[in-house]
Amino acid sequence: MITPVINLKGAEKLLGTVREDQRVVTVSPEISLLEDTGPVCSYELTPEAAATDGDSVPFAVDVTDKQTGAAVVRVKDGSSLDCAVAVYRLRLKAVRCDDADAKSEGFVRFLFLSLFITLFFLFHMSLM
């Protein structure tokens, strides 16, 4: 079984930005998979540290195209952003449609700056 691999399109990381009063995160380059490593039905977004409360993660990832892995990061329904929170360290994994155990590897660092919230995504990729 092929593990999904997130496509960084030559970048070292993905960069996401969102204003405190917005709901959708702008991610560059856009979230997608390397060709022929999909389909992906979901992305897991979980705290990196066990001490972090998973319910406090104010972001969700919605898949918009299962084959390409295209996805949108958004503020969870019922959540709001607060620039007083300095940093979120989260893991983002692409989950293959036909095998929930086939996941990409990676971690995400969310860095809040002023009125804008900047998200830095860094991925460790491995093929299983």
Domain assignment present for 54:
yes
Q: Can you give the pLDDT at residue 115?
A: 45
Host domain of residue 105: 14-122
Q: Give Dmax (Cα) for the chain.
A: 43
Q: Can you give the pLDDT at residue 118?
A: 54
Domain assignment present for 6:
no
Domain assignment present for 128:
no
d(CA 128, CA 114): 40
Domain assignment present for 127:
no
CATH value at residue 29: 2.60.40
Domain assignment present for 7:
no
pLDDT band per the 50, 70, 90 thresholds, residue 125? very low
**Bridge pairing between strands 59-65 and 14-19:** unpaired
pTM for the structure as a whole: 0.76
Domain count, the chain: 1
Question: Residues 68-121: pLDDT tens digits?
Answer: 999 999 989 998 877 676 566 677 788 999 877 777 766 454 444 334 555 555
Domain assignment present for 45:
yes
